Amino acid sequence: MAKFAFIFFIALCTVNTLFAQKTFEVTIKLDSSINPKKMHYQYENGKGITFLPDTFGDSRNVIIKGTYYSQLLSFTASYVDTGKKYYSNDFFLTDKPAALTFYNKPNDDMELKYSSSQNAKRVYDTVENKIQREMEADKRREDTLFIAFMMENQGKFGQSDSLRRIFKKLYKRSVLNAMAFLKRYPEDYYSFWYFRNQLVQLPNGFLNTDTTLIEKQYAYFKAVFPPKFTQSEEGRNLLQRFETWLNPLRKGEPAPLFDISTLDGKKLKLADLKGKYVLLDFWATWCGPCMAEIPFIKQLRKKYPADKLVIVGISQDRDKKKWQEAIKNEDMDWLHHLDTNADIAHLYGINWFPTLVLLDKIGNVVYASDNKKEDKDALPDILNLYIN
C-alpha cells in the first residue's frame, strides 16, 4: 500500500473549506476473529462526539456515513474481546470514501489491529506523522516520573486520595509539557487537533476544576494557533467552551437562548417560554446520579403543572433508543431534547451531570446546581419562593 503522508491530508483542505459542512463515508470489514456484536464506533465531527448505536448485528460489512465540520474527521473503532479486554484504534478521514478491515489480535498496546486501509490515516501514527513521533520522544524525556508512576500504580487510584493528588500533579505537568512542544508546530492541523482533543480539560478532563490551568489553556489557544483554526467551526466551539466555563451562569443574569427539537419532533425556542418558569435538566441515562434524581423531578412535575413550570430534559445520551426507552419506562412526563453534540451543554457551561438550572419568568437564572447542596434539598425552597 502506497504511503499516504500526513501532510497530504492537510493539503487537501483550504481555509474556505474549514467552515463548510462536509460528508464522509467509511466501509468497515471484519474478519472471522471478530464478533461483530462486540464492535463499537464513534466519531468526532468538529462539534462533538457522535456515538453510533450498536445496531449492526452480525454484519461483517458495515457502511457508516455522516457529516463533519472539521478539517479532518477523527473516527474510532473499538472492540471488547471474550476476555473483556478493550481494544481500539483512531483514524483521520476526509470526504473521500474510506475503507478499513479489522481483525482481533491480543496485544499489550490494546490496539485494534487492521489489515488494510484506504483514505484513512491512523491518528497516532509515528512513521509518517512527524509531530506525533517527535512528541512521543519528547514525552519519554520530559515525563519519566509520570510514566513510572502510572506503571507502578495502575488500577490503584480509586483506593487512595494521596495517589490521586500525585497523579493530578504529574498529569498537569505532562499536559503543560505537551503544550510547550506543540508550540513548535502551530500551523499544523494535528497540533490544533491534539490540543483540542487530548489536552484541553473541558468539560470532563481530570483537571477541569483547575482554574489556573484552564486560564492558561484559554490564553494558549488564542495566542498560539492562527485564525484558520481559531475561527473554524472547531475553534469557535472550543472558544465557547472556554468562555462559558470562565464565565459561569450567574444568578440574576439572562440565560443563553437556544432553539431545539423535542422528542416529539416539535421546535422549541427558549425565548417563547418567557412568562413561565423553566427548569432545565441536564442528564443522561448512563449517569447514575441523573437516574437517581428522576423521582425528585417527577415530584416537581406533580406539584407544579406545565402551565406554571416548564421542565426540559436535555440529554447527552449516546444511544437514541436507550434515551427514548428511559423516558417511556420512567414516565418522564415533560419535554425532552437529545443534545447530540453537547451544543446546549457547552452553551451553558455544564461540566457535570446532573445539573438543574431554573429560569424565572423573564429568562434570568435563579438557580443552578452546585456541589455544595443536593438539588432535592435546595431547589424546593427556591421554587416555593417564586411559584405560588
Residue 254 is assigned to a structural domain of this protein: no
Answer yes or no: do 173 and 76 share one domain: no
Tell me the per-residue pLDDT of 281-304, one tens digit each, with 9 for 90 and over.
999 998 999 999 999 999 999 999
Per-residue pLDDT at 3 exceeds 70? no
Task: Provide long-range contacts, Cβ within 8 A and 24+ apart, for 154-157.
Answer: none
Taking the C-alpha atoms of residue 239 and residue 218, their distance in angstroms, rounded to an integer, is 8
The verdict on residue 1 lying in a domain is no
Domain-located, residue 253: no
For residue 252, being part of any structural domain is answered with no
Of the two residues 6 and 365, the one the predictor is more confident about is: 365
The reply to whether 211 and 182 lie within a common domain is: yes
The whole-number average pLDDT for the span 245-272 is 92
Q: Model's pTM, two decimal places? A: 0.79
Question: Do residues 80 and 116 both lie within one domain?
Answer: yes
Shared domain check, 279 and 237: no
Residue 289 preceded by cis peptide, ω within 30: no
Residues 225 and 188 in one domain: yes
* Residues 157, 167: Cα–Cα separation, whole Å: 8
318: in domain: yes
- Is residue 4 scored above 80 in pLDDT? no
Confidence of residue 248 (pLDDT cuts 50, 70, 90): confident
Q: Are residues 166 and 269 in the same domain?
A: no
- Alpha carbon distance 242, 218 (integer Å): 6
The pairing of strands 39-44 and 49-51 is: antiparallel
Nearest to 196 by CA among 233, 170, 142: 233
Q: For residue range 158-191, list pLDDT tens digits in order.
A: 678 889 899 999 999 999 999 999 999 999 999 9
- Quickly state the pLDDT bin for 13 (edges 50, 70, 90): very low
For residues 94-118, give the mean pLDDT: 95
Q: Which of 96, 122, 148 is at the close of a domain? A: 122
Look at residue 17 in the predicted model and tell me its pLDDT: 46
The answer as to whether 251 is a domain residue is no
Give the end of a domain, one of 71, 105, 122: 122
Residue with more model confidence, 13 or 192? 192
Q: What pLDDT does residue 206 have? A: 87
What digits encode the pLDDT tens for the residues 259-279?
Answer: 999 999 999 999 999 999 999
If you average pLDDT over residues 110-118, what whole number do you get? 96
- Range(s) of the domain holding residue 139: 130-246
Are residues 93 and 26 in contact, defined by beta-carbon separation less than 8 angstroms? Answer: yes
Residue at a domain's end among 224, 246, 268: 246
pLDDT of 11 reads 40
Cβ-based neighbours of 45, under 8 Å, separated by 6 or more: 66, 67, 68, 69, 70, 73, 341
User: What is the number of structural domains in the chain?
Assistant: 3
Statement to judge: residues 71 and 140 lie in one domain: no
pLDDT at res. 2: 37
Tell me: do 17 and 102 sit in the same domain.
Answer: yes
Phi-psi region of 119 (alpha: psi -120 to 50; beta: other; left: phi over 0): left
User: Is residue 300 in a domain?
Assistant: yes
166/184 same-domain check: yes
Q: 124-138, pLDDT tens digit by residue?
A: 999 989 999 999 999
Q: What is the CATH classification number for the domain harbouring 18? A: 2.60.40
